[in-house]
């Protein structure tokens, strides 16, 4: 058995107590010789295996990870492995975007009677890991900072939203305001080229409401903190999906929320805009035309055409109008129905695994651990109890390493699996401009592929795919280790 | 912490390929390890005593034993540490036998691996907390699902043991398949004569509540406290008034009603009592054929019924019963043999199943016990039996042996000669499987005393010869030649399958089932009646093919398990369940949505909604723990921190 020769590699197994751990015992009783690389961690059920355990192992030096549970329909806990199958399959499709070879992770089903099968799985998986060799460590990659330009083509003409019915919207808010504690929208921030959230409580507040490509913040992020109060929210199409997702997850109540919406023509990628503006003391003027804005700062005018300067998410946006709304004003331009790859993700798709590791190594070195990404995320509902600040559970250390920083991003991405609406607030809020949305986009893409085009935040009645299961999964082909 | 590590040699089982002394030496350097040694047999009495001594001497507050699988001896060692005053959950096992010494040949690699597994166990133990079991009451009543011979036996044994029994039967009468049989092998006893008294006992036993024409609709709860909803179908006869006199069945004009009890070998009336010994002996109206119910005019039975029991307006009804244990005894059905087109696929009336033949042989059957073939009512002179129709046939996805067909075929061949002395009988077989007491002798009697001709081979085709007979074409693999027999009647020994709806029931019971729908026992050899769901037991063919004596034995075994369970007034709950950290919970309801057991509910805490685990319902799978993003719900003894400690013990670069 060639895999037994040479240096051992580090392979971690998570086995359910009832079937696979018993199968490994059966193999032992039958003296079924196996390679010695594998170390087994016993868990009650494959459903107990948080995909993050697998990532934790892979990040900390495991060369391979194997999860094994009871065969579908045979779960001791009736359905644990059905949930595990969905979550682990998502994980498998997530690994490559991090630069980890997906063959380093496998999940399978072995019953307590299948000692022979277990021997075969262990031998084959160990051989596979030896063929791949020791896992390259993230810290060893040469940091890659230079990023190729993203290809940007929109599904619809992007614009500056100047024809929007802002006055009608304001009138509607004014008439509803007496019944509501607060209506959330946008106002001008430090200058005319920056908008910030606005909390309208009095009629005069409504005058401050603005609309346009600077309305980048997602106001849905504030809704859970108003739980139990009557609140209104002005939304763009993408923001509405966050509201729907919050409703789906029971974090806000439909009867408490009034949704005002207008079709969105795109928002500016403020990271790039600010970079182009450079240092300035004052904004002299912001002039809107149909397809863009011209910002004059310190006497220097620059035009930002929406087709070139929008946020990455806007190009593939198929929901410029709110999917759920109470009062809507205006209609949107038709959207060409077409599947697109978001530009951030397309950029990573074009890279090799090694380049992706180098990319994340370089990008994560810049991460400040400020957690702005988390705080801006409307679906980061843990709020004060984020696992990143906790010792029980103690998922992360406070070490300032690339590994820990990227691990936090994977925690966030996996916690959002099947929930992320792609609003991109994490990436927008990042003060150093790391394209972290790509990690969430990869998971959303996998969710869509696996669950017949499922997209989060489209319908309050949907069951998020990772909180459900199907006895027979149409789109999941498990490796059969024959 | 002060941890003691015991690296067992297990004789040469571990010591042969693992340097146990070295593992113990390495373990001394692991954090918090205060003592490490390598005993020869840790599970033996002196070995256990040594652990207890070490706990006292070295003031240990946690113990790691590196030996065999925890599935084997974890309970043993937990008791050991408990005797020495430690909490039983302050113990961890490293499996260095099944997972190391028995599967690897390289001693150095094995030793290294064993040491790492010990380290893993030590790290886990460092994060363990003492856990305490709580106690709960047991409702000492049992539900038996299925009134075949296995279910009857289980019900009677439980009732005799003083336990109130709820027996649910889907058909109108209990008795199951055995009630349809004419005689039983290997004694050729009359089936009704030996089963009948048991059925009567069920009806008369004060501790047994029988629901016939009923099915289990819903099961909730857990061992000791199940709540079962039972759907009673509408029989259109008030059974509290029906005396079973049969006046209605005599007068009923709908005489073309299919007779399911007689396996459709004849017809019956729309209102009918399945057979003379039926229990309960009550009439049931078949709503599909009753003229009053289908056409709204007739009402003959209502007119003739002396007690006024007929009620055409009867509705089905759901009743609820609380029990502490459940015995599943749902038996089997014959597979649909019509997939065999080469045997006519059900077109030829004189190709019948063995169960139909049983009804033709029975005195209570449609022919009054005279063997008359269905097509023309004549006595057959040549009868061909074909075995393994739908058994051991991988081509139709039925690789298993149905177990008892060899024996009943021999019995039917013998009975054929008893009924028609001049008849000629042939049996096509693959192998004769007669492993029971007096079984092989019985098969020999069929061939030697009764002149049954046994032909080893498969039948390739059955077709009519155009003159009222059937041509059976097959191979004789012993002689290596083709065989062609002109038969008057062909009896197929049709393979069995799990009872219709068995899978559905398994899901309600939360027990596992195999690829063919048979219920899974807890351990193939050592726990053949238990399931992996506490308080649910199995009896009879629902678990796998077996004949009457084996079914009866398993019925009694299941009853013994129920009585053992009920011997205690209180049960201990497993403390390895999920627990909510109420501060971290944001009431998003994800755990509640995923929990396969409905063990999580919402509760109010200082005006806020929070999740709460219902301790007695939680089974400890930990799905909620891996679902909760903020880690607010933690499965005790397999918390995030405990598993992370294990991962970190293995991956530390």
| Banded pLDDT at A156 (limits 50, 70, 90) | confident
Would you state the pLDDT for residue A334? 83
Burial (CB count within 10 angstroms: exposed 0-12, middle 13-18, buried 19+), residue B467: exposed
Q: Residue window 544-603, chain B: list those with CB within 8 Å of chain A.
A: 576, 581, 583-584, 586-590, 593-594, 596-597
- Please check whether residues B379 and B512 belong to one and the same domain: no
* Average pLDDT in chain B: 95
**A199 to A184, A207, A243, B378: CA distances (angstroms):** 5, 12, 17, 94
Q: Tell me the pLDDT tens digit for each residue of A282-306.
A: 999 999 999 999 999 999 999 999 9
Q: Does B518 map to a domain?
A: yes
Choose the weakest-confidence range: A334-343, B145-154, B345-354. Answer: A334-343
Q: Tell me, yes or no, whether B347 and B483 share the same domain.
A: yes
**Distance from B632 to chain A by nearest Cα, in Å?**
8
The pLDDT of residue A77 is 87
Residue B402: is its pLDDT beyond 80?
yes
pLDDT band (50, 70, 90) for residue A152? confident
The reply to whether residue B621 touches residue A8, judged by beta carbons under 8 angstroms, is no
Total CB pairs under 8 A between chain A and B: 194
Predicted confidence at residue A3, as pLDDT, reads: 39
Task: Give the integer Cα–Cα distance in Å for B391 and B387.
Answer: 8
What is the DSSP annotation of B4-33?
EEEE--TTTTTTTTS-HHHHHHHHTTSTTE
pLDDT tens digit sequence for B238-281: 999 999 999 999 999 999 999 999 999 989 999 999 999 999 99
Contacts with B583 from chain A: Cβ below 8 Å: 385
What is the residue extent of each domain of chain A?
Answer: 9-135, 166-328, 343-450
Residue A350: name the closest of A147, A93, A161 by CA. A147
Q: Taking residues A439-445, report their average pLDDT.
A: 97
Angstrom distances, CA of residue B586 to CA of A308, B119, B590, B628, B634: 41, 36, 10, 10, 14
**pLDDT value for B597:** 85
Window 120-159 of B: residues touching A by CB (8 A cutoff) are: 120
Contact B113 A249 (CB under 8 A): no
With bands split at pLDDT 50, 70 and 90, how would you rate the model's confidence at A155? Answer: confident
* Measured distance CA(A123)–CA(A38) in Å, rounded: 10
Q: Specify whether B364 is located in the same domain as B476.
A: yes
Task: Record the tokens describing residue A6, joined without a space.
Answer: 């040479």
Using an 8 Å CB-CB cutoff, list chain A residues near B103.
Answer: 27-28, 31-34, 36, 119
The verdict on B342 and B491 lying in the same domain is yes
Share of chain B above pLDDT 70, in %: 100
- Asked whether this complex has an ipTM greater than 0.85, the answer is yes
B238: in domain: no
B102 contact residues in A (CB cutoff 8 A): 28-29, 31
Contact with chain A for residue B632, Cβ under 8 A:
yes
H/E stretch holding B544 reads: none
B71 contact A CB<8A: yes
Report the CATH number at residue B607: 3.30.70.20
Is A48's pLDDT higher than 70?
A: yes
CB A295 within 8 A of CB A281: no
CA distance A56 to chain B (A): 8
Q: What is the pLDDT confidence band of residue A382, given thresholds at 50, 70 and 90?
A: confident
- The C-alpha atoms of residue B20 and residue B8 are separated, in whole angstroms, by 7
Classify residue B646: in a domain, yes or no: no
CB contact under 8 A, B630 and A24: no
Q: Does B267 touch chain A (CB under 8 A)?
A: no
- Residue B93 sits in a domain whose CATH number is 3.40.50
Interchain CB contact of B648 with A (< 8 Å): yes
Q: CB B621 to CB A12 under 8 A? A: no
* pLDDT tens-digit map of B311-335: 999 999 999 999 999 999 999 999 9
**Contact (CB<8Å) A381/B629:** yes
B86 assigned to some structural domain: yes
Position B262 in a domain: yes
Q: pTM of the entire structure? A: 0.80
Question: A22 contacts in B (CB within 8 Å)?
Answer: 71
What is the Cα–Cα distance from A200 to A298, expressed in whole angstroms? 32
Residue of chain B with shortest Cα separation from A384: B584
In this prediction, residue A146 carries a pLDDT of 67
pLDDT band, very low/low/confident/very high, at A411 (cuts 50, 70, 90)? very high
Question: Which residues in chain A have Cβ-Cβ distances shorter than 8 Å to B71?
Answer: 17, 21-22, 25
Residue A32 pLDDT? 96
Contact B588 A381 (CB under 8 A): yes
Confidence band of A101 (pLDDT split at 50, 70, 90): very high
**How far, in Å, CA of A38 to CA of A29, rounded?**
17
Residue from A42, A110, A384, A399 to probe the interface with B (highest B Cβ count within 10 Å): A42
Q: What is the pLDDT of residue A147?
A: 65
Is there a single domain that holds both residue B549 and residue B622?
Answer: no
Query: Residue B461 pairs with which residues in a beta bridge?
Result: B473
Could you tell me if B54 and B109 lie in one domain? yes
Residues B187 and B325 in one domain: yes
Query: Is the pLDDT at A132 greater than 50, yes or no?
Result: yes
- Residues of B numbered 333-362 whose beta carbons fall under 8 angstroms of chain A's beta carbons: which are they? none
What is the average per-residue pLDDT within A75-85? Answer: 91
The reply to whether B344 and B417 lie within a common domain is yes
Q: Where are the beta strands (DSSP E) in A240-299?
A: 257-261, 283-289, 292-297
**What's residue A4's pLDDT?**
45
Statement: residue A6 has pLDDT above 70: no
B104–A33 CB contact, under 8 Å: yes
Q: Clarify whether residues B551 and B419 are in a common domain.
A: no
Using an 8 Å Cβ cutoff, are A46 and A69 in contact? yes
pLDDT computed for residue B72 by the predictor: 86
Residues from chain A contacting residue B596 (CB–CB below 8 Å): 77-80
* pLDDT tens per residue, range B180-210: 999 999 999 999 999 999 999 999 999 999 9
Residues 6+ apart with CB under 8 A from B204: none
Nearest CA of chain A to the CA of B392: how many Å? Answer: 21
Confidence of residue A163 (pLDDT cuts 50, 70, 90): confident
Domain that includes residue B412, residue range = 333-497
- Would you say residue B547 lies in a domain? yes
* Domain count across chain B: 5
> Which chain A residues are within 8 Å of B647, Cβ to Cβ?
12, 41, 53, 56-57, 60
Say if residue A92's pLDDT is above 80: yes
Fold entry, domain A9-135: Rossmann fold (3.40.50)
Is residue B131 situated within a structural domain? no
Task: Output the average pLDDT for chain A.
Answer: 92
Which residue, B536, B565, B594, sits at the end of a domain? Answer: B565
Do B387 and B323 lie in one domain? The reply is no
What does the pLDDT look like over B47-88, one tens digit per residue? Answer: 999 999 999 999 999 999 999 999 889 999 999 999 999 999
Give the one of A17, A119, A385 whose C-beta lies nearest to B584's C-beta.
A385
Q: Is the peptide bond before A240 cis (omega within 30 degrees of 0)?
A: no
CB contact under 8 A, B113 and A44: no
pLDDT reported for residue A325? 96
Of B66, B97, B126, which closes a domain? B126
Peptide bond into B438 cis (omega under 30): no
CB atoms within 10 A of CB B166: 22
**How does pLDDT run across B208-236, given as a tens digit for each residue?**
999 999 999 999 888 899 999 999 999 99
- How far apart CA A228 and CA B267 sit, in angstroms, is 67
Determine the distance in angstroms separating the CA of B594 from the nearest CA of chain A, rounded to an integer.
6
The CA–CA distances, whole Å, from A354 to A134, A357, A360, A456, B628 equal: 14, 5, 10, 31, 33
B326 shares its domain with B339: no
Question: Is residue B311 within 8 angstroms of chain A, CB to CB?
Answer: no
Residue of A nearest to B524 (CA): A113
d(CA B213, CA B468): 40
Which residue from A minimizes the CA distance to B638? A43
* Chain A residues touching residue B584 (CB < 8 angstroms): 382, 385
DSSP for B183-234, written as a single string: EETTTTEEHHHHHHHHHHHHHH-TTEEEE-SEEEEEEEEETTEEEEEEEEPP
B535, B565, B595 - which closes a domain: B565
For residues B558-573, give the mean pLDDT: 94
pLDDT in tens, B453-475: 999 999 999 999 999 999 999 99
Q: Indicate if the pLDDT at residue A127 is higher than 80.
A: yes
Asked whether the predicted pLDDT for residue B420 surpasses 70, the reply is yes
Q: pLDDT grade, residue A145 (50/70/90)?
A: confident
B648·A12 Cβ contact <8 A:
no
Same domain, B54 and B89: yes
Q: Is B627 on the interface with A (CB under 8 A)?
A: yes
Domain membership flag for residue B20? yes
């Amino acid at each position: 058995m060639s895999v037994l020769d040479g240096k051992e590699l580090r392979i971690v197994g998570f086995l359910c107590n009832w079937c696979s751990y018993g199968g490994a015992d059966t193999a032992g009783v039958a003296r079924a010789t196996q390679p010695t690389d594998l170390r087994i961690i016993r868990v009650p059920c494959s459903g107990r295996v948080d995909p993050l355990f697998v990532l934790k192992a892979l990040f900390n030096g495991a060369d391979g990870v194997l999860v094994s549970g009871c065969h579908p329909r045979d779960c001791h806990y009736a359905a644990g492995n059905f949930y595990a199958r969905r979550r682990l399959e998502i994980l498998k499709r997530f690994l490559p975007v991090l630069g980890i070879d997906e063959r380093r992770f496998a999940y399978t089903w072995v019953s307590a009677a299948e000692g022979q099968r277990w021997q075969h799985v262990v031998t084959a998986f160990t051989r596979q890991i030896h063929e791949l060799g020791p896992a390259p460590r993230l810290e060893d990659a040469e940091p890659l900072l230079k990023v190729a330009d993203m290809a940007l083509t929109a599904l619809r003409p992007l614009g500056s939203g100047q024809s929007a019915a802002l006055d009608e919207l304001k009138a509607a808010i004014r008439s509803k305001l007496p019944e509501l504690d607060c209506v959330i929208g946008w106002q001008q921030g430090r200058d005319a080229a920056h908008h910030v959230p606005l909390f309208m409580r009095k009629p005069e507040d409504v005058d401050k409401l603005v609309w346009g490509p600077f309305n980048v913040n997602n106001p849905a992020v504030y809704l859970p903190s108003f739980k139990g109060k009557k609140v209104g929210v002005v939304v763009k199409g993408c923001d509405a999906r966050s509201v729907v997702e919050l409703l789906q997850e029971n974090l806000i109540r439909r009867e408490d929320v009034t949704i005002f919406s207008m079709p969105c023509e795109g928002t500016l990628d403020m990271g790039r805009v600010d970079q182009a503006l450079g240092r300035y003391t004052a904004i002299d003027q912001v002039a809107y035309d149909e397809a863009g804005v011209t910002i004059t700062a310190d006497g220097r005018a620059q035009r930002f055409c929406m087709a070139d300067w929008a946020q990455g998410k806007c190009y593939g946006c198929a929901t410029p109008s709110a999917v759920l709304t109470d009062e809507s004003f205006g209609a949107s331009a038709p959207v060409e129905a077409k599947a697109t790859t978001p530009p951030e993700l397309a950029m990573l798709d074009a890279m090799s695994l090694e380049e992706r590791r180098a990319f994340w190594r370089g990008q994560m070195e810049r991460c400040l651990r400020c957690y702005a990404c988390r705080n801006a995320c409307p679906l980061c509902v843990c709020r004060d109890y984020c696992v990143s600040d906790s010792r029980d559970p103690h998922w992360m250390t406070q070490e300032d390493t690339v590994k820990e920083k990227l691990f936090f991003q994977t925690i966030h991405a996996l916690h959002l699996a099947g929930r992320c609406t792609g609003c991109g607030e994490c990436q927008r809020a990042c003060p150093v401009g790391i394209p972290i949305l790509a990690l969430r986009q990869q998971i959303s893409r996998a969710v869509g592929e696996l669950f017949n085009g499922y997209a989060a935040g489209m319908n309050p009645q949907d069951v998020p795919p990772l909180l459900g299961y199907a006895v027979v999964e149409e789109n999941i082909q498990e490796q059969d280790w024959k | 912490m002060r941890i003691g590590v015991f690296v067992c040699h297990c004789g040469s089982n571990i010591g042969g390929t693992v340097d146990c002394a070295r593992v113990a030496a390495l373990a001394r350097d692991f954090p918090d390890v205060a003592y490490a040694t390598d005993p020869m047999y840790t599970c033996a009495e002196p070995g256990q005593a040594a652990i207890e001594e070490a706990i006292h001497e070295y003031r240990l507050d946690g113990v790691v034993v590196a030996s065999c699988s925890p599935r084997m001896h974890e309970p043993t060692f937990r008791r050991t540490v408990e005797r020495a005053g430690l909490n039983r959950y302050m113990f961890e096992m490293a499996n260095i036998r099944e997972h190391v010494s028995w599967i690897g040949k390289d001693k150095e690699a094995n030793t290294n691996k064993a040491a790492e597994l010990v380290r893993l166990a030590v790290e886990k133990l460092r994060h363990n907390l003492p856990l305490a079991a709580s106690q709960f009451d047991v409702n000492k009543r049992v539900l038996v699902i299925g009134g075949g011979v296995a279910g009857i036996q289980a019900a009677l044994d439980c009732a005799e043991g003083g336990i109130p029994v709820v027996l649910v039967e889907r058909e109108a009468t209990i008795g199951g398949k055995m009630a349809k049989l004419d005689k039983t092998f290997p004694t050729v006893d009359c089936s009704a004569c030996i089963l009948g008294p048991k059925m009567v006992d069920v009806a008369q036993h004060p501790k047994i509540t029988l629901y016939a024409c009923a099915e289990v609709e819903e099961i909730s709860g857990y061992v000791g406290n199940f709540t079962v909803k039972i759907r009673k179908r509408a029989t259109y006869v008030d059974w509290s008034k029906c005396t079973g006199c049969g006046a209605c069945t005599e007068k009923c004009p709908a005489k073309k009603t299919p007779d399911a009890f007689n396996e459709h070998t004849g017809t019956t009336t729309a209102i009918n009592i399945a057979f003379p010994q039926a229990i309960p002996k009550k009439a049931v109206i078949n709503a599909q054929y009753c003229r009053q119910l289908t056409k709204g005019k007739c009402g003959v039975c209502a007119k003739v019924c002396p007690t006024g029991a007929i009620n055409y307006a009867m509705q089905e009804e759901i009743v609820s019963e609380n029990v502490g244990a459940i015995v599943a005894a749902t038996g089997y059905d014959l597979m649909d043999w019509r997939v065999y087109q080469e045997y006519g696929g059900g077109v030829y009336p004189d190709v019948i199943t063995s169960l139909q033949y049983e009804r033709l042989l029975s005195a209570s059957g449609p022919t009054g016990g005279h063997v008359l073939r269905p097509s023309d009512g004549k006595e057959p002179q040549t009868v061909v039996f074909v075995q393994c129709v739908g058994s051991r046939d991988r081509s139709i996805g039925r690789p298993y042996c149905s177990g008892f067909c060899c024996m009943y075929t021999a019995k039917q061949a013998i009975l054929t000669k008893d009924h028609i002395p001049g008849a000629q009988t042939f049996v096509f077989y693959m192998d004769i499987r007669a492993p029971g007491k007096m079984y092989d002798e019985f098969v020999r009697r069929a061939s030697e005393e009764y002149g049954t001709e046994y032909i080893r081979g498969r039948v390739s085709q059955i077709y009519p010869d155009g003159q009222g007979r059937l041509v059976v074409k097959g191979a004789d693999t012993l002689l290596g030649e083709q065989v062609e027999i002109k038969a008057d009647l062909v009896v197929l020994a049709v393979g069995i399958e799990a009872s219709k709806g068995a899978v559905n029931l398994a899901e309600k019971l939360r027990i596992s089932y195999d690829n063919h729908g048979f219920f899974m026992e807890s351990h193939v050899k050592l726990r053949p009646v238990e399931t992996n769901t506490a308080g649910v037991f199995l009896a009879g063919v629902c678990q796998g093919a077996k004949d009457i004596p084996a079914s009866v034995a398993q019925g009694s075994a299941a009853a013994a398990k129920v009585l053992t369970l009920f011997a205690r007034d209180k049960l201990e709950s497993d403390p390895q369940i999920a627990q909510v950290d109420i501060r971290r919970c944001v009431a998003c309801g994800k755990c509640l949505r995923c929990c396969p057991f409905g063990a999580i509910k919402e509760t109010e805490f200082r005006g806020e909604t929070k999740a709460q685990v219902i301790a007695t319902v939680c089974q400890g799978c930990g799905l909620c723990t891996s679902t909760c993003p903020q880690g607010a719900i933690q499965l005790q003894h397999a918390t995030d921190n405990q598993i992370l400690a294990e991962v970190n013990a293995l991956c530390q670069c």
